[in-house]
Amino acid sequence: MRAVAQRVRRARIRVGGAVVGEMGAGLLALVGVGRDDGPESAAELARKLVHLRVFDDADGRRNASLLDAGGTLGVVSQFTLFGDARKGRRPSYADAAPPEQAEPLVERVCDEARALGVAVVTGRFRADMDVELVNAGPVTILIDTARRF
């Protein structure tokens, strides 16, 4: 699985003009599922997101996790994270998992994060979403559970 995790001051997710998810400070993660991913990848990604130390501690150092900071995790499914644009100008999405495989794994990320004690907000799977966010820092981290980067 892949994620683009952004530390945010706030974020809002809309579908058709209606707000489906809204959060204050925390991490907003755009999450993509690959064909080779399974439940263990989802659990690993959730643990990584929840424990990623990108928040300031009492000394002003980036040494605190989402749990430490008391922030919210926003999860937005984004299959385009598996887009391959190495050839030509039109990305191939052949490595992205089909929706039937991807949706339960994105839900698993959310469930695992909640079990670790973090509030979670989500977008709507397979919907055309507008995602608004204020990136704090800015801090943006790329995560790949297969460790390809």
Q: Which residues are catalytic?
A: 78-80
**Residue 5: pLDDT above 90?**
yes
pTM, two decimals, is 0.95
Structural domains in the chain, sorted by start: 2-144 (3.50.80.10)
Residue 4 near residue 132, CB atoms below 8 Å: no
What pLDDT is attached to residue 69? Answer: 97
Distances (CA, A) of 50 to 35, 66, 80, 102: 24, 5, 23, 20
Residue 106 near residue 56, CB atoms below 8 Å: no
Q: Average pLDDT of 101-115? A: 98
**Residue 129: pLDDT above 90?**
yes
Q: 38-51: per-residue pLDDT in tens?
A: 999 999 999 999 99
The tokens 């052949």 sit on which residue?
94
- Amino acid letter, 119: A
